[in-house]
Structure 1
Amino acid sequence: MKGEFEMKMMGELIIFLRLQIMQLDHGTFIHQEKYTKNILKKFKMNEAKVMSTPMHPSNVISSNSEGKSVNEKEYRDMIGSLLYFISSRPNIVFFCKIVC
């Protein structure tokens, strides 16, 4: 690539496209801890109950059968945030489908 483009080292890569990069002796790891905390804070879910994935089959996620009204714009924002998040976390796609 150096033959085609001008390149220079600008230091260790820490964040790229909202993905945090950790370069350790035994490998390079990508995570979204900061993004996750920011969206939880944005939607006031800092204290939400944590569920491990994959979930045990006995856990049940129910739909909003009462038809309670929600803020449509906020709901769309939440879905958009989840869609971006699952692009790097295919293990939670199924659960996002259920809650969306």
Structure 2
Amino acid sequence: MLTTSSHLEGYRVTEHIDIVSAECVFGMNVFKDMFAGVRDFFGGRNKSSQNALRDARIACLDELKEEAAQMGANAVIGIDLDYSEISGGGKSMLFLVATGTAVKVSKV
């Protein structure tokens, strides 16, 4: 179970294990970057960038779950997601870090 909250409704934290984090870096396709620039110029939503952000979030949260499970946790609370863009040399990368607290919870 994953939550940005400090608790899970209907569950009690029985053990705080440790802080967990997952870092994901995704290359943005040059064509996506080019069309994003066009979209920025004319306005509107950029579907390819939105999809890349969603895919990055899902992948990073999956890695966070895996790390927590390897520590013996059955939940991660207090999750924070931080997005950044790294660009240079004509290339653009999306950098996402997910952090949280791995815990054991039991049903109340």
Q: TM-score range by the shorter chain?
A: under 0.3
Normalized per residue, which structure has more strand?
A: 2
Q: Which has the larger radius of gyration?
A: 1
**TM-score scaled to structure 1, two decimals?**
0.25
